[in-house]
Amino acid sequence: MNLPFNKISVIGLGYIGLPTAATLASRGVEVIGVDVSPRAVEAISRGKIHIVEPDLDAVVHQVVKDGKLRAVSQPQPAEVFILAVPTPFQGKHKPDLSYIKAAAKSIAPVLKKGNLVILESTSPVGTTENLSKWLAEARKDLTFPHNKGEKADIQLAYCPERVLPGKVLQELVQNDRIIGGLTLKATRMAKAVYQIFVTGQCLESDARTAEMAKLTENSFRDVNIAFANELSLICEKLHINVWELIELANHHPRVKILQPGPGVGGHCIAVDPWFIVDSAPKESRMIRTAREVNDGKPHRVVERIRAAVRKSKRPVVACLGLAFKADIDDLRESPAVDIVRELAKDKKIKVLAVEPHVENLPPGLSGIKNIELCEAEEALRRSSVAVLLVNHRAFLNLDRKLLKGKTLIDTRGGWR
Ligand code: SAJ
- How far does residue 55's CA lie from ligand 1's centre (Å)? 21
Residues 86-121: tens digit of each pLDDT:
999 887 899 999 999 999 999 999 999 999 999 999
270 CB within 6 A, ligand 1: no
pLDDT value at residue 64: 98
Q: How confident is the model at residue 264 (pLDDT cuts 50, 70, 90)?
A: very high
| DSSP codes of every residue in 38-70 | HHHHHHHHTT--SS--TTHHHHHHHHHHTTSEE
**Per-residue pLDDT at 165:** 86
Q: Is the pLDDT of residue 384 over 90?
A: yes
269 lines ligand 1 (CB under 6 A): yes
Ligand 1 center from residue 269 Cα (angstroms): 6
Q: What is the pLDDT of residue 166?
A: 85
Tell me if residue 214 is catalytic. Answer: yes
With cut-offs at 50, 70 and 90, classify the pLDDT of residue 51: confident
The pLDDT value recorded for residue 1 is 72
- pLDDT given for residue 289 in this prediction: 98
Residue 77's pLDDT band (boundaries 50, 70, 90)?
very high
- Domains annotated on the chain, with CATH: 7-200 (3.40.50.720), 217-410 (3.40.50.720)
> Average pLDDT, stretch 146-160?
97
Q: Is 268 part of the annotated catalytic residue set?
A: yes
Q: Give the Cα-Cα-Cα angle 154, 156, 160 (nearest 5 degrees).
A: 155
Question: 268: Cβ below 6 Å to ligand 1?
Answer: yes
SS3 317: strand
Whether the pLDDT of residue 181 is over 80: the answer is: yes
First to last CA, the chain: 52
Ligand 1 contacts CB of residue 121 (under 6 A): no
Task: State the average pLDDT for the chain.
Answer: 96
Q: Which residues pair with 388 in a beta bridge?
A: 320, 410
Query: Which string of DSSP letters, residue by residue, matches 126-185?
Result: THHHHHHHHHHHH-TTS--HHHHGGG-SSEEEE----PPTTSHHHHHHHS-EEEEESSHH
What is the distance between the alpha carbons of residues 178 and 212, in angstroms, rounded to a whole number? 11
Whether residue 60 has pLDDT greater than 80? yes
Spatial CB neighbours of 254, under 8 Å, sequence gap ≥ 6: none
In short, whether 390's Cβ falls inside 6 Å of ligand 1 is no
Phi and psi dihedrals of 209, rounded to 5?
Answer: -65, -40
pLDDT for 313 equals 85
- Residues whose CB falls within 8 Å of the CB of residue 245, separated by 6 or more in sequence, listed in order: 231, 235
Helix, strand, coil: what percent of the chain each, to 5?
45, 15, 45
User: What is the rounded average pLDDT of the residues 250-257?
Assistant: 98
Contacts of residue 133, defined as CB under 8 A and 6 or more positions apart, other chains included, come to 144, 146
Q: What spacing in Å lies between the alpha carbon of 273 and ligand 1's midpoint?
A: 13
Position 209 scores a pLDDT of 98
> What is the number of the ligand 1 atom nearest to the C-alpha of 334?
15
pLDDT for position 70: 98
- Residues 303-357 have pLDDT tens digits of 999 999 999 989 999 999 999 999 888 898 999 999 999 999 999 999 999 999 9
Phi, psi at residue 389, to the nearest 5°? -100, -30
Find out whether 337 and 322 touch, Cβ atoms under 8 Å.
Answer: yes
